[in-house]
Amino acid sequence: MDIDIVKKDTNFSEIEDNLFKGTAKLNFSSLKTYVAYLQQNYFITDKEKYQQVMNCLSMDSRKNVQSLALSLEKFIFKKESEIDRVKEMYSFDKSFGNYIYVAGVDEVGRGPLAGPIAAGAVVLNLRQKEDRELILGIKDSKKLSEKKREELSKIIKEKAVSYSIALINNNEIDERGIAWCNNEVLRRAVKGLKVAPDIVLSDGYAVKNLDIYNEFIIKGDMKSASIACASIIAKVYRDNLMKEYSKEFPYYGFDGNSGYGTTEHVQAIKKYGICKIHRKSFLKNII
């Protein structure tokens, strides 16, 4: 159901009264808008009302109205499943002990031929009183669409207790090596948090030289809410930065490949040479 069809000037109370009384045959468009309104206001609507609405819609003789009942039922099932999934991710973060502030940290951009490596660190409120406080949709940033990542990044930044993004540029990568920079950018992201965490959860491996207790989680961006959020804000930030670089260096397609070694990118390097954000240490087999 497309919740964008909800209009602010619609009298939803009148539609609801007529639906429950059964005294007026509402047109399909009004009912569709009302169902979209219920979906949009899922967390503030009495759950018993959904069942009442579905019963009324199901009893209508029109097939398209009956389909609205099925659509609403599927929406509720999907929403509740997502709430349960994300609750498990939050519970995972709380399972390490009775810590007040738990930070998740993750990096993006280890493998590209150009641009910086980036890391995000996020401290969430893990003690929500209501489901509406959860950040639904979070997962491994690579498994989300660009649009969804952008939406979630804004929500994460709004709801996080604290967040931080750190970068290490291509020159330092060439000078110090990607392994050192990979660890260092994670460390810098954690140290950039305005709220000092009691524990840091990292994705895949431990963060060295970090004076905070650290647990590393294999496939952490799929298990931990905090790590998933860190992954999302870091990727969105770096991808947008590479889009800005693409305006300055248009030959390489940075707005589409984020600096990774696509066929078109490699061909552009061979044709035009490198630019100031390329990692020379990554190009020994190309140039």
Same domain, 23 and 79: yes
Q: Are residues 123 and 225 in the same domain?
A: yes
More confident of the two residues 209 and 3: 209
The mean-pLDDT minimum among 18-27, 67-76, 152-161, 221-230 falls in: 18-27
Interhelix angle 28-40/12-21, rounded to 10 degrees, is 110
Helices (H) and strands (E) in the chain, counts: 11, 5
**Whether 152 and 195 share a structural domain:** yes
The answer on pLDDT for 135 being more than 50 is yes
Confidence of residue 24 (pLDDT cuts 50, 70, 90): low
Number of domains in the chain: 2
- Pair 117, 203 in one domain: yes
Give the distance, in angstroms, between the CA of residue 272 and the centroid of all CA atoms in the same chain: 36
pLDDT at 3: 46
Residue 97 lies in a domain: no
Residue 286 lies in a domain: no
Based on the domain organization, do 186 and 224 belong to the same domain? yes
Domain termination residue (choose one: 87, 112, 136):
87
Please tell me the predicted confidence (pLDDT) of residue 8: 56
Q: Are residues 107 and 54 in the same domain?
A: no
Supply the range of the domain harboring residue 141. Answer: 102-238
Domain boundary among 18, 53, 87: 87
Cβ atoms of 101 and 197 within 8 Å: the answer is yes
| Claim to verify: residue 66 and residue 109 sit in the same structural domain | no
Query: What is the strand order of the sheet 102-108 is part of?
Result: 162-168, 117-123, 102-108, 199-203, 214-217
Q: Residue 101: its pLDDT value, please?
A: 97
218 and 124 in one domain? Answer: yes
pLDDT of residue 160: 97
Q: Are residues 107 and 172 in the same domain?
A: yes
239 labeled binding residue: no
pLDDT for 105 beyond 60: yes
Confidence grade of residue 148 (pLDDT, cut at 50, 70, 90) = very high
| In the chain, % of residues over pLDDT 70 | 96
The pLDDT of residue 7 is 54
* 84 appears as a binding residue in the annotation: no
The pLDDT score that the predictor gives to residue 232 is 98
CATH number of the domain that residue 234 is part of: 3.30.420.10
Residue 250 is assigned to a structural domain of this protein: no
pLDDT (tens digit per residue) in 180-222: 999 999 999 999 999 999 999 999 999 999 999 999 999 999 9
Establish whether 106 is an annotated binding residue: yes
Q: Strands, DSSP E only, in the chain? A: 102-108, 117-123, 162-168, 199-203, 214-217
Residue 243 in domain: no
Same domain, 151 and 233: yes
Q: Do 114 and 140 belong to one domain?
A: yes
Q: Mean pLDDT in the chain? A: 92
Q: Given 87, 116, 134, which residue is the final one in a domain?
A: 87
Percentage of the chain beyond pLDDT 90 is 76
3-class SS of residue 121? strand
The pLDDT-based confidence of 45 (bands split at 50, 70, 90) is confident
Task: Kindly state whether residue 249 falls inside one of the protein's structural domains.
Answer: no
Per-residue pLDDT, 9: 58
Quote the pTM value: 0.89
